[in-house]
């Protein structure tokens, strides 16, 4: 079990230390999430976003209280450096796995929804949620392309299906799915995938697939 605290923002907030879940008041959850999602925000900006009040001093005072309560946790999770707040360096943030370091294992990528803080409606969360969704979709599409290049078609299909579950109308996974079927020599499956994409677009948006997607199934490969 890792000694490092782990902060989870995808599919619900969770903080755990040595494998133990740490119960946190909602105000502390918001503080940790805000700092994690913004690059070393200033105290002033954090206080204004989390505790809006015409009197800045009142917001700052609530921030100080929250920081003090955070400092009483068993391990440090936040550090204040002068005017700036950041996560303590040993905190592992799940979001980082979408952007940093080695490619995630496909199974871990497809199993969860990867939705940022579902059920939170603050503006600063909504903005980031959309961004996170895009990062997730790109990670899946990269994985699909990688598996397709290595002729591992089953896994490539899995990655594209996870992308479609997240964003049913997005073109890239539909196109990839068609390309995977073609690469396998399954023209009829490619055609079926194209037709279901075509139907979906017509029903939802009243448009047809882009020419470069049409091109893929125009005629059976010789």
Partner 1 sequence: MSTHQFNLNLLNGFALRQGAKPVPTPSTAKRVLAYLAVHGPSSRAVVAGELWPEVTEGRADGSLRSTLWRLGRRSHDLVRCHADVLSLGEPVEVDVDELDRAARAVLDGEPIGAAGQAVVLRGGDLLPDWAEQWVVIERERLRQLRLHALDALAEQLCARGGYPEALAAAMQAVDVEPLRESGHRALIMIYLASGSPGHALDHYESYRTMLRTVLGLEPSARMRTLLSRGVRDTPDVRAADPG
Interface contacts to partner 1, rule CB under 8 A: 11-14, 21, 23, 107, 111-113, 115, 118-119, 152-155, 157-158, 161-162, 164-165, 168, 184-189, 191, 220-222
Shortest spacing between CB 44 and partner 1, in angstroms: 30
Shortest spacing between CB 164 and partner 1, in angstroms: 6
Nearer to partner 1 by Cβ, of 50 and 162: the residue is 162
Q: Give me the phi and psi of 7, to 5 degrees please.
A: -115, 120
Using only C-alpha atoms, what is the Rg of the chain? 22
Please tell me whether residue 64 adopts helix, strand or coil conformation. Answer: helix
| Residue 213 neighbours by CB under 8 Å, 6+ apart | 171, 174, 175, 178, 194, 197
Nearer to partner 1 by Cβ, of 85 and 116: the residue is 116
Nearer to partner 1 by Cβ, of 47 and 162: the residue is 162
Nearer to partner 1 by Cβ, of 85 and 157: the residue is 157
Shortest spacing between CB 184 and partner 1, in angstroms: 6
Shortest spacing between CB 112 and partner 1, in angstroms: 6
Cα-to-chain-centroid distance, residue 70: 26
For 124, how many CA atoms within 13 A lie in the half-sphere containing its CB? 18
Shortest spacing between CB 156 and partner 1, in angstroms: 9
Nearer to partner 1 by Cβ, of 172 and 186: the residue is 186
Separation of alpha carbons 99 and 139, rounded Å: 8
| Residue 75 neighbours by CB under 8 Å, 6+ apart | 5, 17, 88, 90
């Amino acid at each position: 079990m890792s000694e490092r605290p782990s902060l989870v923002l995808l599919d619900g907030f969770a903080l755990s230390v040595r494998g133990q879940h740490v119960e946190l008041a909602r105000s502390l959850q918001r503080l940790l999430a805000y700092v994690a999602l913004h690059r070393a925000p200033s105290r002033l900006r954090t206080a204004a976003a989390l505790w809006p009040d015409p009197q800045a001093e009142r917001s700052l005072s609530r921030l100080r209280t929250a920081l003090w309560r955070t400092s009483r946790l068993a391990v440090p999770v936040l550090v204040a450096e002068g005017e700036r707040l950041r996560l303590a360096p040993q905190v592992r943030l799940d979001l980082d796995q979408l952007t940093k370091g080695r490619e995630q294992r496909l199974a871990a990528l497809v199993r969860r929804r990867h939705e940022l803080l579902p059920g939170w409606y603050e503006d600063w969360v909504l903005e980031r949620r959309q961004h996170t969704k895009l990062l997730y979709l790109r990670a899946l599409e990269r994985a699909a392309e990688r598996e397709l290049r290595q002729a591992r078609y089953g896994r490539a299909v899995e990655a594209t299906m996870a992308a479609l579950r997240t964003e049913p109308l997005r073109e890239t996974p539909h196109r990839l799915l068609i390309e995977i079927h073609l690469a396998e020599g399954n023209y009829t499956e490619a055609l079926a995938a194209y037709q279901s994409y075509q139907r979906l677009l017509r029903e939802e948006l009243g448009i047809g697939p882009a020419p470069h997607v049409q091109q893929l199934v125009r005629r059976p490969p010789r």
